[in-house]
Structure 1
Amino acid sequence: MGKIRTSWQIAKQCWRVLMLDKELLIFPIMSGIAMLLVIASFVLPLWGTGLFEHVRHHPDADRPILFAISFAFYLVSYFVIIFFNSALVSCALIRLRGGNPTVGDGISAAMKCLPAIFGWALLSAVIGMILQSLEQRVGFIGRLVIGLIGVAWSIASFFAIPVIVTENVGPIEALKRSSSIIRKTWGETLTVQVGLSLIAVAAGFLTMLVIVGGGALMPMSPILGGSIMALGIIAFFCGIVVTAALHAILTAALYLYASDGKVPQNFDGELLKSAFAPK
């Protein structure tokens, strides 16, 4: 219960920071819109040229082409997500250091790190493709092992984006710095990160119940059921946007505290200290 209480208290502090800079919510929205455009830019040409249908009938003949397209999609998707996340983390860092960031500040900070962001997107795409390819070729035990490797990668790269936007280093150095910070300050798990994720999952589950409830009412009252479903869907996507912003604020706060021991503004130092599980 103590860990859950700590996670909840830190989540409230992240929320307080978000309320000071509500424009941080713009970055997940822009990221989502950009991802829809990326998906459309890949799907529509492939559909229009008939390549989807051709690959369905000749899966082996066009495997190299399919692999190249898949990798390009991975790379562009990672770049878009990392770019806007970098902008979001940059603004969070400005606020946590006592500044008053704007959306332009975040975009400007991300633009200054474009080569590093592209390098990190490239490395992430390569790792993602390798893990996905291996997962498709192994059995149940192998998939468990690959899942653990994926978790290890997520842990090692936890602070990579704050490192990139703060130090503007390449992907390998960012991974080394991120791993170094974790080794110095982290035990087996970061309880507050898990706690915040559980809070987000619980909120998402509740909104899904609202959506399902609205769907169940549709036969009896289409207007009422449709309205409830619409509200549930809106709440679900709002939850995704808010969760993305809160995670970025949390990552930025933990990075500042873990890298130089300074307590970010609007955060409790004792709570941050308890966020790191002992080794």
Structure 2
Amino acid sequence: MGLRSRLWTGITLARDSVTLLRDHPSLLWFPVAAGAGGIAFFLLAAGGALGLLPLAALVDAPEALLYVGAAVGYFGASFVAVLFTAGLMFATRDVMEGRDPSVRGGLATAWEHKSTLFAWAVVSTLVGLVVRGLQESDNLAGVIAGTLLSMSWAVITYFVVPVAIFEGEDIRGVFGRSVGIVRDTWGESLGAEFGLGFVHGILFLGVAAVAGLVFVVTTNVAAAVAVGLPLAVLAFVVGATLNGIAKVALYEYATTGEPPNYFENVDFDVGGDDRRRPTSPTNRPRGGI
């Protein structure tokens, strides 16, 4: 498959993801609830830490308590986001298999894999903190290292959540399995990222255009923000949902060898040699970190 064909496949994949979302807009509730739940958890953790400050002062450890509260809030918010992402993926596969999606059902099934999802949330958060620290350093080598680590990590972990929830892999096996699927679908994955990035760009350009128009008409920054901010949140929610849908479609194709429902017109193997074999978990060695 040539580069142009891969990119076109990604655009088609993004378009079909939009079609699936249009038919099942209830999927949007997953990222909405993830954001609200994550913020609420962080605020509760921070509030609890602040409430305990007088007691911490008695043992001369107020700063340590604040760090603990921030860590609990940060990791907890990350777990909430991962849990709802997993729920979105379960609900998306329900749609692809002809069933009606359910927020409650998706979350209930995701909760069955809470241990692996929590471990993944902790690992991904720690790596994210390391990457941020490197990228914000004054050392050029550190910035470059942080960028390379971020890109490599994104590739290695692209299918971690689908592998964890659909195959029941523990935290030790999800990374090797994810790498295997990425290796078999690297062209489609790259194309999907391009196609989804194109859709995201259109969404946020639309938000900027509307907010700019409001500012031109009213010459009021507050009015432009009042209109633009909710639209930006909506664009982010739509983008996050489309990402989850497309990732499940790629996973289903990689593991079954057949495009799932809603994605039958995506020619994943255009220009290929038809030698792709499904990367079924039953036909592979189980990997670890």
Q: Same fold, TM exceeding 0.5?
A: yes
Deviation at 1:71, TM superposition (A): 3.4
Partner of 1:58: none
Partner of 2:18: 15
Partner of 1:84: 84
The C-alpha deviation readout for 1:136-163, integer Å capped at 9, x for no partner, is 5551232122111111111111111111
Deviation at 1:207, TM superposition (A): 0.6
CA distance in 2, matches of 1:22, 1:188: 25
Partner of 2:164: 164
Corresponding position: 1:239 with 2:239? no
Corresponding position: 1:130 with 2:130? yes
Verify the 8 A CA contact 2:90 2:109 in the aligned structure 1: yes
Mark the CA change 1:4 to 1:134 in structure 2 (over 3 Å): closer, same or farther.
closer
Mark the CA change 1:126 to 1:255 in structure 2 (over 3 Å): closer, same or farther.
same
Mark the CA change 1:252 to 1:133 in structure 2 (over 3 Å): closer, same or farther.
same
CA distance in 2, matches of 1:215, 1:47: 39
Mark the CA change 1:159 to 1:142 in structure 2 (over 3 Å): closer, same or farther.
same
Look up the SS of the partner of 1:273 in the other structure: coil
Letter in 2 for 1:158: Y
Verify the 8 A CA contact 2:38 2:78 in the aligned structure 1: no
CA distance in 2, matches of 1:20, 1:107: 20
CA distance in 2, matches of 1:71, 1:236: 28
Q: Mind listing any 5+ residue stretches in structure 1 that lack a counterpart?
A: 55-60
Look up the SS of the partner of 2:269 in the other structure: helix
Look up the SS of the partner of 1:272 in the other structure: coil
Q: What is the TM-score normalised by the length of structure 1?
A: 0.81
Deviation at 1:107, TM superposition (A): 1.2
2:251 to 252, 255, 258: 255
Verify the 8 A CA contact 1:71 1:125 in the aligned structure 2: no
CA distance in 2, matches of 1:99, 1:189: 26
Mark the CA change 1:66 to 1:230 in structure 2 (over 3 Å): closer, same or farther.
closer
Corresponding position: 1:181 with 2:181? yes
Verify the 8 A CA contact 1:6 1:275 in the aligned structure 2: no
Which has the higher mean CA deviation after the structures are superposed, 7-16 or 133-142?
133-142
The C-alpha deviation readout for 1:78-130, integer Å capped at 9, x for no partner, is 10110000000011112122322222220111111111111111221222233
Letter in 1 for 2:32: I
Deviation at 1:45, TM superposition (A): 4.4
Look up the SS of the partner of 1:271 in the other structure: coil
Indicate the percent of aligned positions where both proteins have the same amino acid. 23
Verify the 8 A CA contact 2:83 2:110 in the aligned structure 1: yes
Which has the higher mean CA deviation after the structures are superposed, 78-87 or 172-181?
172-181
Mark the CA change 1:270 to 1:16 in structure 2 (over 3 Å): closer, same or farther.
closer
CA distance in 2, matches of 1:256, 1:72: 35
Q: Mind listing any 5+ residue stretches in structure 2 that lack a counterpart?
A: 273-289
Question: For 1:142-161, what aligned pairs fall within 5 Å after superposition?
Answer: 142-161=142-161
CA distance in 1, matches of 2:164, 2:62: 37
RMSD over aligned CA atoms reads 3.1
The C-alpha deviation readout for 1:179-216, integer Å capped at 9, x for no partner, is 11112232596122122123203321331232244234
